[in-house]
Amino acid sequence: MTKPIVVAVTGAAGQIGYSLLFRLASGETFGDRPVFLKLLDLPIPEAQKKLEGTAMEVLDCGFRTLAGVECTADPNVAFDGASWALLVGSKPRGPGMARADLIRENGPIFVGQGNALQRGASDLRVLVVGNPCNTNCLIAASNCAGVPKERFGAMTRLDENRAIAQLAAKAGCTNADVARVTVFGNHSESMYPDFENATIGGKAVTEVIGDRDWLQGPFVQAVQNRGKAIIAARGLSSAASAASAAIDHVKDFERKTPTDAWFSAAVWSDGSYDSPLGIYTSLPVQSDGKGGYSVVQGLRLSDWAKGKVAATNKELLDERAVVADLLKG
């Protein structure tokens, strides 16, 4: 039997977990490769009971690709041997809050978990979903001595998917027609969804949609504020779409990206597009499908767009300063 891939999910008893685990186990994400799920939630009876219940449902799906499920309250157990660790467990924001308001409450979670991630497999890859995800990713990576910073990333794939859906609706085409959208910067209201390099049916978005005022105004704002709009409408933050984006992120890194395509992920800044070093910022990424990735170079941005990218990166530097006491190396 093929060796199972061990996938750890934190906050697995929560609402994102409930949409995520089934798609990790079903074969959708890792193909025929068997998956062993390690599920972490808080060491309190209520959370552990809910976790057991969710695990029971995963087992009851009878997925041929599921090699086993282990529930735990100990990050050292959860991350032991993991090739992927999806760090979801943390508090979501409520109405009227910014994601950055969570930083001092959620940030410390990623100190201990960062340390425990040293138990991961040699091919460990980490996706941070819990907000504010870019800065939580920085905290986890800086507390995980010995694991390269490039093995960590934070989730902006949801923002890319939202941007694609907005552009498709405006152009009256399908989501599949939209390509080459990049979300730059922070998963926050300062993020910049780049439409200047995006295409619809192979043509420039600026040509197909033509309405630059809409692109620079309502489009950018809709993507930036979508999380808040969902909280206002549902009373809860996005869950199924967030889980779906996490699956997209994992799949994007697992396979080689076609030469003419890319995807958005917050990765360890290499200075591309004038991003400051020492932060996790969203950039256009291509995976080599073997555990490595590169940042797509040469995208042309107008001065207006460069200003937006600079502003969202400045916000990440400010967030880093707020958690300076939680950062190690």
**6 lies in the binding site for ligand NAD (CB under 6 A):** no
Q: Find the farthest-apart pair of alpha carbons in the chain and give their distance in angstroms, rounded.
A: 56
- Under DSSP, the state recorded for 282 is E
CB of 316 closer than 8 Å to CB of 275: no
Angle among Cα 141, 287, 297 to the nearest 5 degrees reads: 95
Strands 84-87 and 5-10: parallel
Query: From CA 23, how far away is CA 314, in angstroms rounded?
Result: 35
Q: Decide which of ligand NAD, ligand LMR, none touches 117; Cβ closer than 5 to 8 Å per partner kind.
A: none
Quick one: tokens of 77? 């157990």
Residue selected from 136, 237, 269, 272 as contacting ligand LMR according to rule CB under 6 A: 237
- Number of residues binding to ligand NAD, judged by CB under 6 A: 28
Query: From CA 73, how far away is CA 175, in angstroms rounded?
Result: 39
Nearest to 85 by CA among 42, 128, 21, 148: 128
Footprint on residues 241-280 left by ligand LMR (CB under 6 A): 242
Residue selected from 21, 111, 208, 239 as contacting ligand NAD according to rule CB under 6 A: 239
Nearer to ligand NAD, 165 or 171 (CB): 165
The catalytic residues are 187
Using the rule CB under 6 A, give the single segment among 6-14, 196-204, 236-244, 263-271 that binds ligand LMR: 236-244
In total, the chain counts a number of residues equal to: 329
For ligand LMR, which residue has the nearest CB?
Answer: 227
Q: In sequence order, which residues have a C-beta less than 8 Å from that of residue 117 and are 6 or more positions away? A: 75, 79, 82, 85, 124, 126, 140, 144, 147
Using the rule CB under 6 A, give the single segment among 112-120, 234-242, 248-256, 281-289 that binds ligand LMR: 234-242
Quick one: tokens of 27? 């074969």
Residue selected from 4, 120, 185, 227 as contacting ligand LMR according to rule CB under 6 A: 227
Give the shortest CB-237-to-ligand LMR separation in angstroms: 4
Q: Decide which of ligand NAD, ligand LMR, none touches 129; Cβ closer than 5 to 8 Å per partner kind.
A: ligand NAD
Residue selected from 67, 173, 209, 230 as contacting ligand LMR according to rule CB under 6 A: 230
Helices (H), 64-152: 75-79, 103-106, 109-116, 133-142
Q: Which residues bind ligand LMR (CB under 6 A)?
A: 92-93, 99, 131, 158, 227-228, 230, 237-238, 242
Q: Which residues bind ligand NAD (CB under 6 A)?
A: 10-11, 13-16, 40-42, 47, 88-93, 109, 129-131, 133, 155, 158, 187, 237-239, 242
